[in-house]
Amino acid sequence: MKINLRVEFEGSTQASEITCSASDLVAFEDKYNTSVTNFGNDMKLTYLLYLAWHSEFRRKVTKLEFDSWVDTVATIGASEIDPKSVV
């Protein structure tokens, strides 16, 4: 399972497409003690931000801790890229 998120960072004119993989989803469920399948019922902005940050941190795209990384985000939302098309 994969989830693609589109993140725009402060001071940047180009959005980043971030793919969250199984390890990011498991980390999310462990941290928040809730299933990603509950997103439709109880979506929080924090959840999307955590998934995107965890993917970036895991892949060493950022070294920032979560709260510091969130300070760099202008917007976050669903990506139009199909998760199945990302290798």
Comparing 14-18, 70-74, 81-85, the range with the smallest average pLDDT is 81-85
CA angle in degrees (0–180, nearest 5) for 34-29-76:
95
HSE value, Cβ hemisphere, 13 Å, CA-based, for 12: 11
Residue 86 has a pLDDT of 53
Tens digits of residue pLDDT in 36-68: 888 878 889 999 999 999 999 999 999 999 999
Identify each DSSP E strand in 1-87 by its residue range: 3-9, 16-20, 73-78
Is residue 81 within 8 Å of residue 68, measured between CB atoms?
Answer: no
Confidence of residue 27 (pLDDT cuts 50, 70, 90): very high
pTM over 0.85: yes
Q: In Å, what is the CA distance from 45 to each residue of 10, 30, 64, 85?
A: 17, 17, 19, 25
Residue 85 has pLDDT above 70, yes or no: no
Q: In what order do the strands lie in the sheet with 16-20?
A: 16-20, 3-9, 73-78
Give the residue with greater pLDDT, 8 vs 43. Answer: 8
Residue 63 has a pLDDT of 97
